[in-house]
Structure 1
Amino acid sequence: MSNRLEKSPLHNSPSDTEEINQFIATLEDALNNHDADAYNHYFTNDISWGSPNGVLLQGLEPLHTVHKNFLEGSLRNSTFRYTIHNVKRLTPDTAYAHVQLVRTNANAEVESDELCLYVLIRKQEAWWVCAGHNTRVQLPHNAGQAAPKN
């Protein structure tokens, strides 16, 4: 097909993605410390963020306010765990990551399970999140129940 972009090799050896894996671990640590400043430290000022509730936030300031209110408020006793599903470096300075974020309460009960897409850029010798979208993962309405008989 002549209108397709030419395939170029992606930068996806383990050494190419290890730095991003460490970056995701840093985000997880910040969440578990309930530290919005550390969590948002490497979010760009012009970040675009889709929340699991369907809200689109533009810019770091409104996003930081939301994260700070949650982490210091209703989520202060929560624990967060990231599982990295996929990391792709598109160029040496751009990448994306699909991660699963599971949040549990003080009783170790799952409160939220989200699939997140983070768009990353490399600048000032560090990775930065320039866009993100979290989608809540929900079990089917009747999970665990027998299928109805016809």
Structure 2
Amino acid sequence: MVKDAQPAGAVSTRTQAEVTGVVKGLEQAFNDKDPVALAGWFAERTSWTNARGTRLDSRAAVAEFSAPAMKGFLSDSYARYEVVRLLEIAPEVIAANVAQTPTDADGNPVEGPRGAALYVIARQEEGWRIVAGQNNAVEAPAAG
């Protein structure tokens, strides 16, 4: 959510909203189990490492990996993505730290592995897209 993100440095409100829109679009595509829509949030030339450590070096590779994964081991996985920090690396290049919380299909939080992702999102001819990033599985914080 853009209102909760903590910009590091001067990231305009408009850029915050546009970058957060990419993250929310990616979340929606993941939860809809739509590999084409998911891959569409990545630049044609991208370098993405997923939570399993698989590096995918193009939009096509993201789609190719995601299609069977979403029908297989990710078919019952849903998540909420929250932008927690933004850093302008260069003009129109933003690093976004994203916290991922597992949910049920209705968006209610559930037990399960969480994620901490870093997306590098840059303005492309087609709009803001993920050009590089890494998704890391993390353990849920201890209750207490």
Q: TM-score, normalized by length of structure 2?
A: 0.78
Matched, 1:128 2:129: yes
| CA deviation after TM superposition for structure 1 residue 137, in Å | 0.8
Alpha-carbon spacing, 1:50–1:136, altered in 2? closer, same or farther (3 Å): same
Structure 2 residues not aligned, in runs of 5+ = 1-7
Whether the aligned pair in 1 keeps the contact of 2:114 and 2:140 (CA below 8 Å) is: no
Whether the aligned pair in 2 keeps the contact of 1:11 and 1:92 (CA below 8 Å) is: no
**Superposition pairs for residues 1-150 of structure 1, below 5 Å?**
10-105=9-104, 109-124=110-125, 126-139=127-140
d(CA) in 1 for partners of 2:18, 2:52: 30
Whether the aligned pair in 1 keeps the contact of 2:94 and 2:120 (CA below 8 Å) is: yes
When Rg is computed on C-alpha atoms for both structures, the one with the higher figure is 1
How many positions carry a matched residue from both structures? 135
d(CA) in 2 for partners of 1:130, 1:110: 30
Whether the aligned pair in 1 keeps the contact of 2:98 and 2:117 (CA below 8 Å) is: yes
Whether the aligned pair in 2 keeps the contact of 1:83 and 1:99 (CA below 8 Å) is: yes
d(CA) in 1 for partners of 2:31, 2:53: 24
Give the letter for the 1:53 counterpart: R
Q: Which runs of 4+ in 1 moved over 6 A?
A: none
Higher RCO structure, 1 or 2 (CA under 8 Å, sep 6+): 2
Structure 1 residues not aligned, in runs of 5+ = 1-8, 145-150
More helix by share: 2
**Percentage of identical aligned residues:** 27
| CA deviation after TM superposition for structure 1 residue 74, in Å | 2.6
Whether the aligned pair in 2 keeps the contact of 1:11 and 1:90 (CA below 8 Å) is: no
Q: Secondary structure at the match of 1:67?
A: helix
Q: TM-score, normalized by length of structure 1?
A: 0.75
Q: Secondary structure at the match of 2:14?
A: helix
Whether the aligned pair in 2 keeps the contact of 1:49 and 1:131 (CA below 8 Å) is: yes
